[in-house]
Amino acid sequence: MHYDTVITGGRWFDGTGAPSARRNIGVRDGRVATITPEPLDTTGAEVIDATGRWVIPGIIDIHTHYDVEILCEPELSESLRHGVTTVMLGSCSLSTVYLDNVDAGDIFGRVEAIPRRYVIEHLDAARSWTNPAEYVAELDRRNLGPNVAAFMGHSDMRAATMGLDRATRKDVRPSAAELARMESMLNEALDEGFVGMSSQQLLFDKLDGDVCRSRTLPSTYAKPRELRRLNAILRRRNKILQSGPDIKNPLSVVSQLATSLGVGRPRLKTSLLSAADIKAIPPVIHLMDRLARVVNALGGDFRWQHLPVPFEVYADGISLVVFEEFGAGAAALHLQDEIERNALMRDEDYRRRFREDYDQKFGPRVWHRDFFDAEIVACPDQTVVGKSFGQVGLDRGGLHPVDAFLDLVVEHGEKLRWRTTISNHRPEVLRKLARSETVQMGFSDAGAHLRNMAFYNSGLRLLRHVQEAEKRGSPFMSVERAVHRLTGELGSWYGIDAGTLREGDRADLVVIDPAKLDASLDRYAEHPVQSYGGLSRMVNRNDETVSAVLVAGRFAFGAGRPAPALGKQKFGRFLRAGQQARSLTPA
């Protein structure tokens, strides 16, 4: 048999959790043709020597916000270079299927920290669709790098049906015709192979623009009846609800967990944001795991999404989404004009309110509100670099940490750059979550919060954690199980044809040098996004870790370099839920 590509001598993982083995892999016509311990005929084939390396199925990223970037830079190279060969669009109730372009700018701009101007510009340039079928056709016309699957966004449907203004008013409910229209929209999306619907109830995601500025997402205004009607479609069609609860309301969390149950109705596959070991409330992660286990024991099909690495964030000045969760922070971010914002931050009454919010250390929240745990990494005033805001306050005569922070923001604006870790800081808890059957590996937020975070290589970092524990003689999970959690487990649960590397499977695969699963994965890096006016985005650069990435059997990326055809030719495709997906039984 002749092959297009032959991968020789690698440690092969099939993505099901079965034992790995040293194998040679022959690829032909975009599929895995042969997996064997015997030598293969390499005549006319491209040969990849994988001796001493791992060969795994392409990683699946279940939570991205590439909905705009895929229209202007469809190669999505920041994910592809780290072995991600399938990405999921439409998270957090946000998609661009039906939504007006300006409304999309208002929704994506502030919530996901993607410049509003470029959201609108790229949608204006790309828009050729009015429904899911045309949207999928447009994606399939693009020169995709990885494969793509998608959720239908609840906020997309709601704003397109009601108008963004009416969709974000507490006193307005959809008419019977409008609710029927949303149901029709969702059914149309599911007909085209969308994996389900994403919704969002979190109340500190705020809109951009002028008309509806600082209101929460449209989906947060939906009443129980609307949610039940849309969820009923997902139940009936065995599709997935992705959502996020209002973390300030414990009943919201319990309600969303209970939504998965099938008492007197079909159960609802539910993926909820997110299982995070939050510094602000350390015990809550253990409660989340227990609650999920109870729901699944009662017949639910529930998973928490989980980022398997420390959640380290960076900020320029006050531009960070965690400030949206309390009144004083949201008041500053509401103001678009820098002069107005600085005047507010100088005001002593405002500072008093900020200090009061900061000093409230109890109650549901994401940020632990500790400026002693926030390191300044760049500032025109070099004397403060490397210090915390708390320490700067002490150095300046015992200033409250809030005043030290606001003084520096007013003086230096976005030239002040700092970082903190808000969750997933305890390795022992990360190990426990990595094993938990109630969580899914994901939540990278790839394509969003461009100046705040970079988790494009989070899958590789999980593999490093597993390998290092194994080397120490204290393994918490096999490498086979870790690969399965990043690949086949996700492909099976979401019903897409991805995540396994067996004969007959599509040849989406990654060759990894395990010796380079090292400190390079933590290296800070930035790279400009040309389509966003050259905005410098936080990225990951560990070029020696991934030797080769193949999508549909074609070399797409490797050793830090894209294939010459990447971005010029099509590699990936739109993956329709329920088509050609195999049912997996992990070994």
Q: Is 376 helix (H, G, I), strand (E, B) or coil?
A: strand
DSSP sequence for 312-331: EEEEETTB-GGGGGSHHHHH
pLDDT in tens, the chain (587 residues): 899 999 999 999 999 999 999 999 999 999 999 999 999 999 999 999 999 999 999 999 999 999 999 999 999 999 999 999 999 999 999 999 999 999 999 999 999 999 999 999 999 999 999 999 999 999 999 999 999 999 999 999 999 999 999 999 999 999 999 999 999 999 999 999 999 999 999 998 999 999 999 999 999 999 999 999 999 999 999 999 999 998 888 888 889 999 999 888 999 999 999 899 999 999 999 999 999 999 999 999 999 999 999 999 999 999 999 999 999 999 999 999 999 999 999 999 999 999 999 999 888 889 999 999 999 999 999 999 999 999 999 999 999 999 999 999 999 999 999 999 999 999 999 999 999 999 999 999 999 999 999 999 999 999 999 999 999 999 999 999 999 999 999 999 999 999 999 999 999 999 999 999 999 999 999 999 999 999 999 999 999 999 999 999 999 999 999 999 999 999 999 999 998 644 344 43
Residues 6+ apart with CB under 8 A from 148: 70, 86, 87, 88, 89, 139, 572, 573, 574, 575
- In angstroms, the CA 587 to CA 576 distance is 26
The CATH number of the structural domain formed by 59-310+424-494 is 3.20.20.140
On the CB side of 60, how many CA atoms lie within 13 Å of its CA? 31
Phi, psi angles (nearest 5°) of residue 257: -65, -45
- In angstroms, the CA 155 to CA 98 distance is 10
3-class secondary structure per residue, 535-557: EEEEEECCCCCEEEEEECCEEEE
Residues 6+ apart with CB under 8 A from 482: 434, 462, 463, 466
Does residue 84 contact residue 57 with C-beta atoms inside 8 Å?
no
Q: Six-digit token pair at 386?
A: 């490397």
Domain spans in the chain, listed from the N-terminal domain onward: 1-57+501-517+544-569, 59-310+424-494, 313-421
- Distance of CA 318 to CAs 107, 207, 407, 413, Å? 20, 17, 11, 8
Does residue 88 contact residue 176 with C-beta atoms inside 8 Å?
no
- In angstroms, the CA 292 to CA 446 distance is 26
Strands 509-512 and 54-57: what pairing?
A: antiparallel
CA 317, chain centre distance (Å): 24
**What is the crossing angle of helices 250-258 and 284-297, to 10°?**
30
DSSP state of 471: H
Residues 6+ apart with CB under 8 A from 447: 64, 65, 66, 67, 68, 69, 76, 112, 114
Sign of the Cα torsion 360, 366, 371, 372 reads positive
Q: Is 32 helix (H, G, I), strand (E, B) or coil?
A: strand
pLDDT value, residue 361: 81
Q: Six-digit token pair at 322?
A: 């965690």
- Distance of CA 111 to CAs 75, 127, 167, 221, 333, Å? 24, 22, 16, 16, 11
- In angstroms, the CA 373 to CA 371 distance is 5
- In angstroms, the CA 13 to CA 509 distance is 10
pLDDT value, residue 250: 82
pTM of the full predicted structure?
Answer: 0.96
The CATH number of the structural domain formed by 1-57+501-517+544-569 is 2.30.40.10
- In angstroms, the CA 443 to CA 273 distance is 8
Residue 118 belongs to what H/E stretch?
Answer: helix 116-126
- Distance of CA 517 to CAs 445, 528, 544, 559, Å? 22, 25, 9, 13
